[in-house]
Amino acid sequence: MKKVDAIIKPFKLDDVREALSAVGITGMTASEVKGFGRQKGHTELYRGAEYVVDFLPKVKIEVVINENQLDDCIEAITSAAKTGKIGDGKIFVTSVEKVVRIRTGEEDETAI
């Protein structure tokens, strides 16, 4: 099993959710997060004062999948989240040792 964490632009969340659903991935967790990479921050004007916004709003998507779904998952996220501009985000893939569905006690692939 694999866990896919994707950091994307907030306005791309619905597109990514639909793309994942289209390839058979039905469950995901989305969180509002803040961060920066090469995009850095930017300067804003508020009530006449200029200030630097260091952290930019992003959405973090977490999906746990069977290993055979990994390539489809990455392709779906990449194609749906891509704008071609700086700050499109990143995808991180890690191994998952165990999954347990709390309600039924199912484990691993049957619990996903």
Domains, the chain, ordered by start: 2-110 (3.30.70.120)
- CA-to-CA distance for 78 and 6, rounded, in angstroms? 9
Looking at this protein, which amino acid is placed at residue 36?
F
pLDDT score for 41: 61
pLDDT at residue number 38:
72
pLDDT score recorded for residue 43: 66
Q: Which two tokens stand for residue 98?
A: 């165990």
* Model confidence, pTM: 0.84
Predicted pLDDT of residue 45: 66
In the predicted model, residues of the chain with pLDDT beneath 50 are none
* DSSP of 43-64: EEEETTEEEEE-SEEEEEEEEE
Tell the residue number behind the tokens 């920066």, with chain if given.
36
